[in-house]
Structure 1
Amino acid sequence: MRLETYISDLLYRYDCVTVPGFGAFLTQRVSAKVHESTNAFYPPKKVLSFNEQIQKNDGLLASYIADVEKIPFEVAVIKIEKRVQSLKSLLTEGETLSFHNIGDLSFNNEGKIVFEPSYHLNYLTDAFGLNQLVSPAITREVYKEEAEKIEKVIPISVTPEKRKTRPYLKYAAIALLALTVGGFAASNYYVNQINTHNQLAQEEANTQLESKIQEATFVIENPLPAVTLKVNKQVGNYHIIAGAFRLEENCDKKVQQLKEQGFDARKIGVNKYGLHQVVYSSHFDRLEALKTLREVKRTHNKAAWLLVKDIN
């Protein structure tokens, strides 16, 4: 059984894939980056890590293998146990385990598992199709402007280069200035007349408005009742699955039964098999969800498992 293939498939959809009795592969999203010296652009991605302390079976990996290979859940658990025993034996013998598109695992001098992630595959589905690229450096030309005084009548700034190569610009500027001064004087007269007219009209309009406001009386005899909006709070993306039912009425009965037993149970919709799913509870924090899952499996339902899904 190529266990790494199933782990790789699940890393696209989940932040934690636990191999029971061995450890957990974790992913963390990092933003896009630009390398300052090489001008290389790196798209956002998921960074892989390995935690040897997380070994409890959350049912995710076994459920996926059972679904793909069309075998019972218990058989999938046994196959995982045999594969884990083989992996531990290889590590004890000093070999390095290479998981394709995931990374390499080996023992250090202290007998702890060291994980070196692979960078050949990006497990962030939002970045699908985005590749690394290198952009050439952008050079910017900085021009220094030098101010030069010429005739007092025509204060025009002309750089020495422009005086030498384009002398006609000086005379064009003189003609433009003369036309501008004449047109500016004429336009100022009309603008002043328009502003005066507008000011008088505005004062008259303000007087009429104040008069209307003083005459108006607003009385609200029957104020509208207050409106109360019920907003559903987001309860997290980590859901402890209690069961799935073909009939929705059985799903409702299960929710009511779990609520009577003290669980914060609810329905989370229909899965891809058309079954109505019921959860014991949902959590924001993954570690809190795993802790609750262990407690549920110990005291209430050994078949409970953890679903990581964003439910709107």
Structure 2
Amino acid sequence: PGIHQHLSSPVFTLFLVAVDEIKSLDALHINLRIHIFASMLRIVTHIEELLLEHDCVILPGFGGFVLQTVPSVYDQDNHRFIPMRKEAMFNSTLRHTDGLLCGSYMQRYGVDYAKARLMLEEDIDEMSRVLE
């Protein structure tokens, strides 16, 4: 996934709006925002990659993204077919870990389960704070 996909995701749309509001902040606050952006980029990258192979990815304690297949349809007004596609839905009731994100962190960063889980919890906490 390229950066353009990240920028069009709902998480980054919300974050980029927040960045526009802080243009006049001092360097310390800007560095903090860059750190938050990097954390969010990290978790969003993992979610995107996992959704290419799995129909559900759960952010422990936060919720899960579930892919639903939308069948192809014929648009009679525009005389064209809209192909079958998958749409990601967010389900806040899916809060128990499925282990996918933690396993992805372990593999990518070469860390053990405890460290991967800590990194994931920190990223989810940062994302929650930004989305509030």
TM range, smaller chain: 0.5 to 0.7
1:25 and 2:65 correspond: yes
Moved over 6 A (4+): none
Q: What per-residue deviation string (whole Å, max 9, x for no partner) do you get for residues 195-238 of structure 1?
A: xxxxxxxxxxxxxxxxxxxxxxxxxxxxxxxxxxxxxxxxxxxx
Cα distance in 2 for residues equivalent to 1:15 and 1:9: 11
1:42 Cα deviation from its structure 2 partner: 1.6
TM-score by length of structure 2 reads 0.65
State which of 47, 50, 73 in structure 2 corresponds to 1:7.
Answer: 47
Cα distance in 2 for residues equivalent to 1:21 and 1:38: 43
Cα distance in 2 for residues equivalent to 1:56 and 1:39: 44
Cα distance in 2 for residues equivalent to 1:74 and 1:41: 48
- Structure index of larger Rg: 1
Structure 2 unaligned blocks of 5 or more: 1-38
Secondary structure class of the residue paired with 2:90: strand
Structure having the higher helix fraction is: 2
1:3 Cα deviation from its structure 2 partner: 0.4
Map 1:88-103; keep pairs closer than 5 Å. Answer: 88-92=128-132
Cα distance in 2 for residues equivalent to 1:77 and 1:90: 20
Task: Give the counterpart letter for 2:75 in structure 1.
Answer: H
1:54 Cα deviation from its structure 2 partner: 0.8
Q: Which residue of 2 aligns with 1:83?
A: 123
Task: Give the counterpart letter for 1:68 in structure 2.
Answer: R
Secondary structure class of the residue paired with 1:78: helix
8 Å Cα contact 2:105-2:120 kept in structure 1: no
1:51 and 2:84 correspond: no
Q: What per-residue deviation string (whole Å, max 9, x for no partner) do you get for residues 10-29 of structure 1?
A: 11111110011111000011
Identity of aligned residues (%): 29
Secondary structure class of the residue paired with 1:38: coil
Q: What per-residue deviation string (whole Å, max 9, x for no partner) do you get for residues 52-82 of structure 1?
A: 1111112111001211222112111101111
Cα distance in 1 for residues equivalent to 2:108 and 2:130: 27
Task: Give the counterpart letter for 1:72 in structure 2.
Answer: D
Task: Give the counterpart letter for 2:79 in structure 1.
Answer: N
1:37 and 2:77 correspond: yes
Cα distance in 2 for residues equivalent to 1:10 and 1:88: 20
Cα distance in 2 for residues equivalent to 1:40 and 1:79: 46
Secondary structure class of the residue paired with 1:3: helix
Task: Give the counterpart letter for 2:70 in structure 1.
Answer: V
TM-score by length of structure 1 reads 0.29
Q: Which has the higher contact order (CA 8 A, sep 6+)?
A: 2
Cα distance in 1 for residues equivalent to 2:80 and 2:116: 44
Structure 1 unaligned blocks of 5 or more: 93-312
**Aligned Cα RMSD in Å?**
1.2
Task: Give the counterpart letter for 1:62 in structure 2.
Answer: C
Map 1:27-176; keep pairs closer than 5 Å. Answer: 27-92=67-132
Number of residue pairs matched? 92
1:91 Cα deviation from its structure 2 partner: 2.1
8 Å Cα contact 2:60-2:97 kept in structure 1: yes
1:38 Cα deviation from its structure 2 partner: 0.6
Task: Give the counterpart letter for 1:63 in structure 2.
Answer: G
Secondary structure class of the residue paired with 1:54: coil
Cα distance in 2 for residues equivalent to 1:52 and 1:65: 22
